[in-house]
Chains A and B, each alone.
Chain A
Amino acid sequence: MSKITGAHMIIKCLKQEGVGVIFGYPGGKVIPLYDALYDSDIFHILVRHEQAAAHAADAYARATGKTGVCIATSGPGGTNLVTGIANAYMDSVPIVAFTGQVSTVEIGTDAFQEADITGITAPITKHNYLVKDIKDLPSIIKEAFYIASTGRPGPVLIDVPVDISTGLIDEKAEGEIDLPGYKPTYKGNQKQIKQAAKKIYESKKPVIFSGGGVISSGASEILTSFAEKAKIPVITSLLGMGSFPEHSPLALNMAGMHGTRYANTAFTQSDLIIAVGARFDDRVTGKVSGFAPEAEVIHIDIDPAEIGKIIKTAIPVVGNAKDVLTDLNKRYFEMDNAKSIDRKKEWVAHLMELKEKFPLMYDKKSPNLKPAYIVEKIYEHTEGKAIICTEVGQNQMWAAQFYKFTQPRTFISSGGLGTMGFGLPAAIGAKAGRPDKTVIDIAGDGSIQMVSQELATAVSNRLPIKIMLLNNGYLGMVRQWQELFFKKRYSHTCIRECVDFVKLAEAYGGVGLRVTDKKDVDSAIKEALETDNVVLVDFWIESEENVYPMVAPGAPISEMLEWEY
């Protein structure tokens, strides 16, 4: 019986799981693992900070549908992963994170670079493991990938003490999944689905609310065909963007705090919300008591805990979005679709009129450099085919509002956690997973400075991502709140003229371009897209431009601060 080290067993198991790319950063307690990686053909991307490894693994998973993998050492390596793991947890993204740990005999002694990472990450992982016996290693890895990628996806962490990775194990040891307490429901209850179909059929003012679960379960196609055939308008959540093509007349785009007026009005006036893989985040509902007062809710979600958590549900259906929608689709079209469409005709016409009357707007005639204009231009130049990653804040909302997403897995953004510094490592992860795609990080000057060292990662791994920096010299979203709700007292939000971003890009071996005039936008984007290197375009946008429409925090979504039409 020939034996291999635990570290080699980890690599072997990763290969079995089909892992091709890993994001990580070495350190004392993962040296054995990195030593095993040295002989492997797995592509390892060395980041410059562990947080970026977690974000990159997260975006890799979102872009490809596969499980992302990251590695960090014990202690600070693990704690640096925490933000990235929390981000993946909030947005239900499958990643498996490996951390090194001090040896089993040293655990609990405050050894050098020891941190209780399973304790720390318990609230932000779907599950986590501390490997105490090398014999468990293959099973733990198998279970981790299974848990991360099935049911409601999420991050799983495996903490590997160094004596486990240097210990020996039978080369042929195979893992087994033994999870008696974990049985996700995929197929929806047929009686509930039948009731739901009937309720949709009878409704006069229905609206579909499509969330991130539609994308992760691969239900975009069936959702789109259902909505188009039944002529039911579709609102997307931020993470649901791309689940329904935005050029469809039935697309009402995003609802909520910075959603469209027609989407928020549709929620407010509808008599039936068909929520699919969406969790009614407070950024969508606004003041909950004022949300959709006349609507009944059909809630389709794989996680029973999401049903009834925020909004009262008339018909709950626990199951995978794709399976449930397929069944619902079948049931629905057993009824007379023409009659149903007729019943909803007035409603749809009303929404189409609102859409016409209150489009997303900005001052198109202004000679100034408007962020919305830049995003529109990025859309034009990429023909809507790029993968767009964003940072968090105004840049994120402008990207969501003005880029028209038509395909799932093309909009990658930190929704639930709202993590500044997500976009650049996300673009790296997405590009590693989809080298065939143009990958763009629509960034802000605040967010990107949280992770700007990752320019080195992108350049040295030849991942030619494009960073479109909407530079306003402010922590823009906070400044906007200060302007609107704190009497323009701009406390610590002005960060102007500190960094020369062109030089920064060049310092890392990338290309930096600067645009200060509207007329140069086209040529700069074109040059960025045509250059086979990491390119950062530093757009000096109008500094106090606000994101509109906006629902004030705590207000119902029917009350919007608006662009003046």
Chain B
Amino acid sequence: MNHIISVLVENKAGVLAKISGLFSRRGFNIDSLAVGTTEDKSISRITIVVQADQRGIEQVVKQLYKLINVLKIQELDPANIVERELVLIKVATDSKNRAEILEIVNIFRANIVDVAKKSLLIEITGTSTKVDALRELLDPYGILELTRTGKIASTRGSKKKI
């Protein structure tokens, strides 16, 4: 099962390596990982999507807590969060199918951020399902390059997430 874990860490050298190392060492595969600083520059948030059963996720959270630079960990409940991912898709086009692609892009409320003779660069923000749906539709035209940021998430409501 997919779990989204949000980890607040001290923004210090080597912390990311210690965290990602812990996942592989304990036999878990990371699906996606996004890192950035928070409202406090000395603290970073790492959002990790990982496949594990309930017992496994409990163990991995406990092990993460043992890392000295880890401040707080929260497993996010998918029902109560807004999750987003930003994806850049470079798709092959020619004059004949450009209009078709623009139509799809509009329906998905995605943006064209670069136009070239033989390609379009599309930017889309949304949930993974939305991104996957767009990707599926663009596939037949030939996706030249795809870059995902990995998932980030925030809980709903005014309460501070962690």
B-contact bits for A164-186, CB 8 A (1 contact / 0 none): 00000000000000011110000
Q: Once the chains bind, are B25 and A119 in contact (CB under 8 Å)? A: no
Q: Once the chains bind, are B68 and A179 in contact (CB under 8 Å)? A: yes
Residues of A in contact with B, size category: 10 to 19
Q: Once the chains bind, are A126 and B65 in contact (CB under 8 Å)? A: no
Out of B14, B17, B63, B70, name the residue touching A181 (CB < 8 Å): B70
Out of A122, A132, A179, A309, name the residue touching B13 (CB < 8 Å): A132
Q: Once the chains bind, are A127 and B21 in contact (CB under 8 Å)? A: no
Q: Once the chains bind, are B62 and A122 in contact (CB under 8 Å)? A: no
Q: How far is the CB of A140 from chain B (nearest CB, A)?
A: 12
Of the 9-residue stretches A300-308, A342-350, A372-380, which lies at the interface with chain B? A300-308
Residues of A within 8 A of B70 (CB): 181
Cα A304 to Cα B66 in complex, Å, equals: 9
Residues of A within 8 A of B59 (CB): 305, 308-309
Considering the complex, which residues of chain B in the window 46-91 have a beta carbon less than 8 Å from any beta carbon of chain A?
55, 58-59, 62-63, 65-71
Q: Once the chains bind, are A182 and B21 in contact (CB under 8 Å)? A: no
Cα A181 to Cα B162 in complex, Å, equals: 14
Q: Once the chains bind, are A180 and B10 in contact (CB under 8 Å)? A: yes
Q: Smallest CB-CB separation from A119: which chain B residue?
A: B17
Q: Smallest CB-CB separation from A154: which chain B residue?
A: B66
Residues of A within 8 A of B156 (CB): none
27 examples of A-B residue contacts, CB within 8 angstroms? A119-B14, A119-B17, A122-B14, A122-B18, A122-B21, A123-B22, A126-B66, A126-B68, A127-B67, A130-B13, A132-B13, A180-B10, A180-B71, A181-B9, A181-B68, A181-B70, A181-B71, A182-B68, A303-B66, A304-B62, A305-B59, A305-B63, A305-B66, A308-B55, A308-B58, A308-B59, A309-B59
Q: Which B positions have Cβ atoms within 8 angstroms of A?
A: 9-10, 13-14, 17-18, 21-22, 25, 55, 58-59, 62-63, 65-71
Q: Once the chains bind, are A123 and B21 in contact (CB under 8 Å)? A: yes
B-contact bits for A114-150, CB 8 A (1 contact / 0 none): 0000110011001100101000000000000001000
B-contact bits for A201-242, CB 8 A (1 contact / 0 none): 000000000000000000000000000000000000000000
Cα A435 to Cα B155 in complex, Å, equals: 60
Residues of B within 8 A of A123 (CB): 21-22, 25
Q: Total A-B pairs in contact (CB under 8 Å)?
A: 41
Using A179-B68, A180-B71, A182-B68 as known contacts, say yes or no to A130 and B62 having CB atoms under 8 A apart: no
Using A304-B62, A305-B66 as known contacts, say yes or no to A181 and B21 having CB atoms under 8 A apart: no
Q: Smallest CB-CB separation from B8: which chain A residue?
A: A181
Residues of B within 8 A of A182 (CB): 68
Considering the complex, which residues of chain A in the window 271-305 have a beta carbon less than 8 Å from any beta carbon of chain B?
303-305
Task: Tell me the interface secondary structure of chain B in the complex.
Answer: helix
Cα A180 to Cα B70 in complex, Å, equals: 9
Q: Smallest CB-CB separation from B18: which chain A residue?
A: A122
Q: Smallest CB-CB separation from B60: which chain A residue?
A: A305
Cα A304 to Cα B55 in complex, Å, equals: 14
Q: How far is the CB of B104 from chain A (nearest CB, A)?
A: 45
Q: Once the chains bind, are A304 and B65 in contact (CB under 8 Å)? A: yes
Cα A127 to Cα B69 in complex, Å, equals: 9
Cα A30 to Cα B70 in complex, Å, equals: 31
New A-B pairs, 15, CB < 8 Å, besides A122-B14, A123-B21, A305-B59: A118-B14, A119-B14, A119-B17, A122-B17, A123-B22, A127-B67, A127-B68, A147-B68, A180-B71, A181-B9, A304-B62, A305-B62, A305-B63, A308-B55, A309-B59
3 nearest interchain CB pairs? A305-B62, A127-B68, A181-B71
Q: How far is the CB of B11 from chain A (nearest CB, A)?
A: 12
Residues of A within 8 A of B69 (CB): 181
Q: How far is the CB of B122 from chain A (nearest CB, A)?
A: 37
Q: How far is the CB of B21 from chain A (nearest CB, A)?
A: 6
Residues of B within 8 A of A305 (CB): 59, 62-63, 65-66
Q: Smallest CB-CB separation from A184: which chain B residue?
A: B66
Cα A309 to Cα B21 in complex, Å, equals: 19
Q: How far is the CB of B52 from chain A (nearest CB, A)?
A: 14
Q: How far is the CB of B84 from chain A (nearest CB, A)?
A: 27
Residues of A within 8 A of B25 (CB): 123
Considering the complex, which residues of chain A in the window 69-116 have a beta carbon less than 8 Å from any beta carbon of chain B?
none
Q: How far is the CB of A136 from chain B (nearest CB, A)?
A: 11
Residues of A within 8 A of B13 (CB): 130, 132
Out of A126, A130, A179, name the residue touching B14 (CB < 8 Å): A130
Cα A474 to Cα B59 in complex, Å, equals: 40
Considering the complex, which residues of chain A in the window 256-270 have a beta carbon less than 8 Å from any beta carbon of chain B?
none
Q: How far is the CB of B112 from chain A (nearest CB, A)?
A: 40
Residues of B within 8 A of A127 (CB): 67-68
Residues of B within 8 A of A180 (CB): 10, 71
Q: Smallest CB-CB separation from A182: which chain B residue?
A: B68
Q: Smallest CB-CB separation from B63: which chain A residue?
A: A305
Residues of A within 8 A of B65 (CB): 304-305
Q: Smallest CB-CB separation from A127: which chain B residue?
A: B68
Q: Which of B10, B58, B66 has the most CB of A within 10 A?
A: B66
Q: Smallest CB-CB separation from A143: which chain B residue?
A: B68
Q: Once the chains bind, are B10 and A181 in contact (CB under 8 Å)? A: yes
B-contact bits for A33-48, CB 8 A (1 contact / 0 none): 0000000000000000
Q: How far is the CB of B107 from chain A (nearest CB, A)?
A: 45
Q: Smallest CB-CB separation from B62: which chain A residue?
A: A305
Cα A303 to Cα B66 in complex, Å, equals: 8
Q: How far is the CB of B69 from chain A (nearest CB, A)?
A: 6
Q: How far is the CB of B150 from chain A (nearest CB, A)?
A: 22
Q: How far is the CB of A279 from chain B (nearest CB, A)?
A: 13
Residues of B within 8 A of A126 (CB): 66, 68
Residues of A within 8 A of B14 (CB): 118-119, 122, 130
Residues of B within 8 A of A118 (CB): 14
Residues of B within 8 A of A308 (CB): 55, 58-59
Q: How far is the CB of A134 from chain B (nearest CB, A)?
A: 16
Residues of A within 8 A of B10 (CB): 180-181
Q: Which of B13, B17, B67, B68 has the most CB of A within 10 A?
A: B68
Residues of A within 8 A of B18 (CB): 122
Residues of B within 8 A of A147 (CB): 68
Q: How far is the CB of A92 from chain B (nearest CB, A)?
A: 12
Residues of A within 8 A of B22 (CB): 123
Cα A89 to Cα B62 in complex, Å, equals: 17
Residues of B within 8 A of A130 (CB): 13-14
